[in-house]
Structure 1
Amino acid sequence: MGRDAPGPGPHQIPGLLRLAVTDPLRSLYQTVSRYGDVVEAPIAPGRSFHLFTRPEHVEHILVARQSRYGKAFTYRPLQEWIGLGLITSDGELWERQRRLIQPLFSYRRVAALEPLMVTAVRRMLDDWDRTPESGRVVDAAVEMSGLTLDIVGATLFGADLSGDRDRIFHAVETLQDAVTKVIRNPFTWVSTTMARYTSPGFRSWDRAIATIDEVVSRVIAERRARPADDGAPRDLLDALLAARYDDGSAIDDKQLRDEIITFFMAGHETSANCLAWTFYLLSTSPHARERLEDEVDTVLAGRTPEPEDLDKLVWTKAVLSESMRLYPPVWTVERDAVEEDEVGGVRVRPGSTVVVPPYLVHRHPGVWENPEAFDPERFLPPRSTGRPKYAFIPFGGGRRGCIGNVFALMEVTLALAMITQRYRLDLLPGFDPEPKVTVTLRPKHEMAMLLHRRSR
C-alpha cells in the first residue's frame, strides 16, 4: 500500500484546529502551501483527515473508487436540520431515494418549469422598477435569496412563499451558522448530540428548524387538500406524491418532509449565492459585463428567454461558471473511507476522512492560470480544451453529484440574462464583500449595490 502523506505533527494540531475554526479558507491555503497537494492530519486517536486538491484525486474518490467511501461524519449535524434527504442519506436509503427522484429532474421536466422561473424574475424586476431613483440601493444577497425562494416555491411546490421571505432567510442563516459551529466542535467526533448542546446558540437552532418545518408542513398540507384535477404532476411535490418505489409503495410522510426540505434549502441557498457573487464579480469587470450585455441583447433581442435560448448564451454561462469556480456553491466535500485505499500514491486507512474542497481544486495553480482572477474566457475554447474534467466540480461528481444541476443552471442562466436585459448592479464604493464560510459561501456582510436601469 502507498506511503503516508506529509502533514502537521500532533503538537501542531491544536493550532491548526483553531485556525480551521476561525478562518477555514486561510487554514486550507496555509496547509497546502506548506505540505503540498496531499496532506494528512491526525486529528484524534484512530482518525485522520486527508486533504486532496488535484483533479485526479477528485476523480478517484468521487467517481472511480466511490464505493470505498461513504458520507463523512461531518454531515451528521446537517442531518438534524434537513433529515435524511439525498444530501445526507447513505447506503440503501440513498440508493432507493435516488432511483425514485432522479427522473423528476430530467431536462424535459425542468424545461417545463421555465415559464414559472421567468415569471418570478419578472416580478422581482417589476418591483425594482417601482423603486424611486433616490433609493436604488439593494443588498444583492438578500434580493437573490428572495428571488430563488420565489422560484423554488413556484416551480417545486406550486406555492407562493413571498410572505415567508424574511423569516426563511433568517432561519436559513441561523441554521447555517449553527451547523457550522457544531461541525467545528471537537465533540462532533464523539457525539453530534453532545456537540449540538455544547455549541453556542443551539436554542436558536431549534426555533429556526421549527420555522422551516412549519412552512414545509403547510405547503404539503395545502397540496394534499387540492390535488391536480387531471392527476398530472404540476411540480416536484405532485411528482413526489405520485412516485412509486419498485415495490409499488409511496414515499412516507417523514421521508417526504426530508426530501422537500433538502430541495427547498439546496435549490434556494446555493443559487442565490451564485447570483450574488456573479453580480459582485461583474461589477469589478466592466469588459466582462459589457460583453454579457451585448450577448444578451443580440441573442434575445429584448424578448423573454426560452429554454432553447440557453445554449446560445455562451458568454452568460461562461460568466456563471467562472463565478462558481471562484465561489463554489458547496466549498468542501468530505467522505469517510470504509475500505483501505490508495490515492495519489498515499495510503488512506478505513475510518479516515478525506476532504476534497472545490474551493481549492478550482484554484489549483497547476490547472488554472492566474487562478484568483475573474476570467470567464477560461471556460471558452480554446482555453477550456484539454482541461481535466474534474478540475471544475461545482456540483460534485460521480453517482452522488447534485441531482438538481440542470434545474440550477437553467434558473441562474435565465435570471442573469433577464436581469442584465434591464439593469446593471454596481458595488457601492468602500464595500469589499468577503465570503462567510458556513455550509455554503455566503457574503459575510451586506452586498450593497446600486441599481442602474439600462437604456437600449
Structure 2
Amino acid sequence: MSTAAGPTGRQALALLRSLRADPLTGFVSLTNHYGDFVRVPLPRGGKLLLISRPELAAHVLVSNQANYRKARTYKPMTEVLGNGLLTNEGEDWARQRRIVQPMFARRHIDSFAPAMVAAAHTTLESWAARPDGALLDVAEEMSALALDVAGRALFSADLTGEAGAMGPALATVLDAFTKVVRSPLFLVAPNYHRWPTPNRLRARAAEAQLHGVVDGLISRRRAEQRLPGDAGARDLLDMLLAARDETTGEPMSEQQVRDELMTFLLAGHETTANALAWTFMLLSRNPEARDRLEAEVDEVLAGREATAADADKLTWTSAVISESMRLYPPAWIIEREAIAADELDGEPVPADSVVAPAPYLLHRNPDQWPNPEGFDPTRFLPGEGSARHRFAYLPFGGGRRQCIGGGFAMLESVLLLATITQRYRLDLVPGFREEPVPTITLRPRRGIPMRLHRRAAALD
C-alpha cells in the first residue's frame, strides 16, 4: 500500500498554479499537510512525487538511478552551460565525468587554497577603506568574492574587473531560467526556453557576455601554446586542456572545454556565494555560535593566513558551514524523470513522472533532525550524526551525479569564512527578514544587509 498522499481534482490544478508562482512555499505547505511523500497529479496523466524521506531519495539517486534522468526543467540551462556536467546525460556525461573527476582529487583541490585566501584578502582590503559600522550587502560581497576565487582557480585570472558586469549577467540568466520553468507554456512546449520572448532575448545578451569572457580566456591560453601535463597545471583550464579520455586518449573538444568552464564558473560561484551569505546571516542571529567560531579561528590560525592544512583543524568552522547548508541548501531541489515505470514505497511511478527529492525538505525532516528549524552546528561535529540516514543530508546531491566540486566548495567556504572572521564581524540590520528565492540555487531576493565591524582581535 502506498504511503503517498496529495491533492486531487481542482485542488491539484489550483496548487500547480501556486507552485509556479512560489514553489518553495508551496512544497513546504504540501509537506506540512500531506507528509514526507506527496503525490501531485500533472496535466496529461503524469504525476509529481515530492520526496522528503531519505530512503526514497536513495532509491531514486542510487539504488535505481539508471531509471531516472535529469528532468526537463534542466534543459533551459543548456543555453548558457551547453553540455557541461550539470546538464549532460548518458554516455557523453559518463565520458566527461571520467575525464574531469581526477581534477577534483584532494591534492589538486588543496593546491587552490592560496588562491582562495588571496581572494579573501583582496575583499578584506576593500573593506578596510570603509568606516566601522558601514552598511554592505553581504550577498553581493560574497558573490564578488566567489567570482574572484573562481577566476583564480579556473583561469589564474583576476575577474574582479569583470565582476561588476558578470554578476548582473549571471543574475539575468538565473532570473530568465526561473521565469521559463514557471511558465505554463513550458509544460506543453518542449522548446519554449528557446522562443524569442523578451525574457529570452535579455538572457541571450547576458549569455553572450559570459561566453565572451570565457572564450577570451581560453583563446589567450591557447595562444600560449602550452599544454602542460598534470603536474605543471596552473589551474583548471590547464587541466581541461591537458585532459585525455583514458579509453580513447582523445582530448576534449573546444566546445566541451567551454561548456565545463561555464558550468564550473556558474555552479561553483553561485553555490558558494549563497552558502556564505546565508552563513553570515545565521551567525548574526546566533551569537554563541559566532563567539565559538571566532575563538576557534583565533586559536587555530593565531593571526596567520589560513592554509589547506588548517581546514581539518577548523572543525567548528566546517560545522557552521554544513549547518548553514542544511537550512539553506545550495541546490534546494533535485528533479528526475522516470525512464520506465517504477514503484516507490507502493506508489506506482509511471514513465515520464517527475520525482523530486528535495534537500530543502529532507534537511528539515523531523524524524532525522531534532528541532529542524534551529541552527545547531553541533550536529556536524566529529562523532555526531551517526544515527542519521546518509541521504538525510544532500547539500551536493547524491549518487553518481553528486556534485563533483563538493570538496572544492567546502574547502573554499571554510577558508573564506575563517579568513573573514579573523578581522571582521557582520551584524544584520534590525528588522531584516530573509526571503529565499528558489532558482537553480537558493538566493536571497533582496540581498542581506549587514553592518561591518572590525574585531578587537584584529586590532591587537
Equivalent residue, structure 1, for 2:59: 60
Amino acid at match of 1:353: V
In 2, the alpha carbon distance for the partners of 1:216 and 1:46 equals: 43
Contact in 2 for aligned 1:49/1:352 (Cα 8 Å): yes
Please give the secondary structure, in 1, of the residue aligned with 2:162: helix
1:276 alignment partner in structure 2? 277
AA in 2 matched with 1:341: D
Count of aligned positions:
454
User: Identity, % of aligned pairs?
Assistant: 49
Q: Which moved more, 1:423-432 or 1:411-420?
A: 423-432
Deviation (angstroms), 1:10: 2.9
> How far 1:433 sits from its partner (Å)?
2.1
Task: Give the match for residue 218 of structure 2.
Answer: 220
Deviation (angstroms), 1:329: 0.5
Instruction: State the match for 2:105 in structure 1.
Output: 106
Which residue of 2 is the match for residue 239 of structure 1?
A: 239
Aligned residue for 1:92? 91
Matched, 1:376 2:374: no
Task: Give the stretch that moved more between structures: 185-194 or 150-159.
Answer: 185-194
In structure 1, C-alpha distance between the alignment counterparts of 2:279 and 2:122, rounded to whole Å: 20
**Which amino acid in 1 is paired with 2:257?**
L
Residue of structure 2 in register with 1:360 after alignment: 361
CA contact (8 A) 1:144 1:276 kept: yes
Q: Hey, what does 2:419 align to over in structure 1?
A: 418
Q: Which residue is equivalent to 2:48? A: 49
Are the counterparts in 2 of residues 427 and 449 from structure 1 also a CA contact under 8 Å? yes
Alignment-derived partner of residue 318 in structure 1: 319
Question: Over residues 54-96 of structure 1, what are the superposed CA-to-partner deviations in whole Å (9 max), with x where a residue is unaligned?
Answer: 1111111111111111111111111122111100111011001
d(CA) in 1 for partners of 2:346, 2:295 = 48
Distance (Å, rounded) in 2 between the aligned partners of 1:382 and 1:228: 46
Pairs within 5 Å for 1:20-419: 20-133=19-132, 136-197=134-195, 201-228=199-226, 232-245=232-245, 246-380=247-381, 383-419=384-420
* CA displacement at 1:44 relative to structure 2: 1.5
Structure 2: gaps (5+ residues): none
Aligned equivalents of 2:437, 2:36: Cα separation in 1: 24
CA RMSD across the alignment: 1.6
Correspondences of 1:409-448 after superposition (within 5 Å): 409-448=410-449
Is the Cα–Cα contact under 8 Å of residues 3 and 345 in structure 2 kept in the other structure?
A: no
Supply the distance in 1 between the matched residues of 2:379 and 2:404 (Cα, whole angstroms): 26
Could you list the structure 1 runs, at least 4 aligned residues long, displaced by more than 4 angstroms after superposition.
Answer: 227-231
Change (3 A) 1:209 1:192: farther
TM-score after normalising by structure 2: 0.95
* CA–CA separation in structure 2 for the residues paired with 1:201 and 1:342: 38
- Evaluate the alpha carbon distance shift between residue 3 and residue 448 of structure 1 in structure 2; reply closer, same or farther with a 3 A threshold: closer
* TM-score of the two chains, using structure 1 as the length reference: 0.96
**Larger displacement relative to structure 2 (263-272 or 239-248):** 239-248
Distance 2:13 2:312 in 1: 50
Instruction: State the distance in 2 between where 1:372 and 1:199 align.
Output: 40
Which ranges in structure 1 are unaligned for 5 or more consecutive residues?
Answer: none
The superposition leaves residues 105-137 of structure 1 with CA deviations (integer Å, 9 ceiling, x where unpaired) of: 100011111111111111111111122347x21
Shifted more, 22-31 versus 406-415: the winner is 22-31
Tell me the distance in 2 between the aligned counterparts of 1:330 and 1:3: 28
Residues 186 and 302 (structure 1), Cα distance of their counterparts in 2 relative to 1, 3 Å cut: same
